[in-house]
Amino acid sequence: MSLEEMAKKIETMEIRGAGRIARAGATGIKDFALEYKGGDDVAKFLSELRKARDFMLATRPTAVSLRNAVYYTLRGVKEEKTVQDMINRIVKNADEFIALSEKALEKIGKIAEKRIQSGYNIMTTCNSHAALAGIIRAHKSGKKVHVFATESRPKQQGFITARELAKEGVPVTLICDSGVRHHMRMVDVCFVGADTVCSNGAVINKIGTSQLALAAHEARVPFYVCAESFKFSQLTMSGELVEIEERDWSEIADPKDFPGVKFSNPVFDATPPEYISGIITEFGVIPAYAAYDIIIKQFGGFVFEDEDES
Ligand code: RUB
């Protein structure tokens, strides 16, 4: 698939979810490199590669996973001497990133499963493979679990979750987003995913996640975020704010049916660390406030966006 085709699939959300777009981003850059036919001029290749990187990063602004995947794929490329060696390095990096991300997901599932007891009612929102990993494992290991999946307006990714769980044989009930607080009193634990984890421990995920966290906090229900380390943002350490993607109004309703009415469609929100019981990463369960340590461990410190030319 060409870089343009992959970018289109991410932009239109045919490929969605922070982990999946990260792997697609790495694959897109790899495919760009493999299909490159611009000759042996290193400077020209690097300039085209930068354009490909920026094109890919512009597809969806909120999930830092995409940025981290693309930069992982470009690691050490500038140190190579020939275009062919650069291409080889990109292919190796992309394959390595994809393998690491799959391994991380598996570890998160193993850890999350331990926080699930037989008989539990679980609530989740949107469609997060990291959040579902532990639930599916728990079900497969014979634990009796039941899931409340929120619809997740406006794009209704909760439908995908409900279908995925039903396919795995996990009992699942689809609820409206407005039903979160009402159903919370029946819930034992919540698992959600993340698009970006900030250095102060705040988690950016599908709009409505913070409402779920608030309702869980009120009901004293443990609220876990499941996030691979590549969803942590070193940019937030340098003061950068996470851009919340604003999508087309038509996702909510047809504006033509509402003359004179404005719409607001931010598709992610921020959950403050005080409402998070723990973030389940491939390095274990950490308190949200330890996000800083993961960023140091993974990235070695912070970076300024305009200085990051790796
Ligand atoms: C998806 C979403 C998911 C996270 C984590 O939003 O908010 O909870 O991306 O997903 P969208 P995963 O549908 O707008 O991409 O755990 O699969 O990476």
| Mean pLDDT, residues 120-141 taken together | 98
- CATH code assigned at 15: 1.20.120.420
pLDDT at 308: 59
Q: How many domains does the chain have?
A: 2
**How confident is the prediction for the chain on average, in pLDDT?**
96
pLDDT tens, 238-255?
A: 999 999 999 999 999 999
Query: Are both 133 and 218 inside the same structural domain?
Result: yes
Query: Are both 122 and 234 inside the same structural domain?
Result: yes
Query: Are both 259 and 123 inside the same structural domain?
Result: yes
Question: Is residue 188 one of the residues assigned to a domain?
Answer: yes
Among 51, 77, 106, where does a domain finish?
106
DSSP 246: B
Query: Are both 118 and 245 inside the same structural domain?
Result: yes
Enumerate residues 6+ apart whose C-beta is below 8 A from 217: 223, 274, 275
Among 57, 79, 106, where does a domain finish?
106
Strand order in the sheet with 223-226: 172-175, 146-150, 121-124, 189-192, 223-226, 278-281, 284-286
Among 73, 90, 106, where does a domain finish?
106
Active site residue 195: yes
Question: Is residue 155 one of the residues assigned to a domain?
Answer: yes
- CATH code assigned at 284: 3.40.50.10470
For 24, the domain range is 3-106
pLDDT at 72: 97
* Ligand 1 pocket test, candidate residues 206, 245, 265, most atoms within 8 A of CB: 206
Residue 134 Cβ < 6 Å to ligand 1? no
Query: Are both 130 and 177 inside the same structural domain?
Result: yes
Q: What is the pTM of this model?
A: 0.96
Residue 112 Cβ < 6 Å to ligand 1? no
pLDDT tens, 264-301?
A: 999 999 999 999 999 999 999 999 999 999 999 999 87
Query: Are both 132 and 223 inside the same structural domain?
Result: yes
User: CB–CB of 4/31 below 8 Å?
Assistant: no
Residue 213, token pair as written in the block: 């966290």
Distance 136 CA to ligand 1 centre (A): 17
Catalytic residue among 31, 126, 177, 226: 126
Residue 66 Cβ < 6 Å to ligand 1? no
Question: Is residue 305 one of the residues assigned to a domain?
Answer: no
Query: Are both 62 and 207 inside the same structural domain?
Result: no
Question: Is residue 25 one of the residues assigned to a domain?
Answer: yes
* Ligand 1 pocket test, candidate residues 100, 128, 246, most atoms within 8 A of CB: 128
pLDDT at 309: 54
Catalytic residue among 177, 190, 195, 226: 195
Query: Are both 262 and 186 inside the same structural domain?
Result: yes
Question: Is residue 18 one of the residues assigned to a domain?
Answer: yes
Distance 154 CA to ligand 1 centre (A): 14
Residue 154 Cβ < 6 Å to ligand 1? no
Share of the chain above pLDDT 70, in %: 98
The whole-angstrom separation of Cα 126 and Cα 205 is 9
Query: Are both 81 and 184 inside the same structural domain?
Result: no
Query: Are both 180 and 254 inside the same structural domain?
Result: yes
pLDDT tens, 5-62?
A: 999 999 999 999 999 999 999 999 999 999 999 999 999 999 999 999 999 999 999 9
Question: Is residue 162 one of the residues assigned to a domain?
Answer: yes
pLDDT at 302: 80
pLDDT tens, 196-228?
A: 999 999 999 999 999 999 999 999 999 999 999
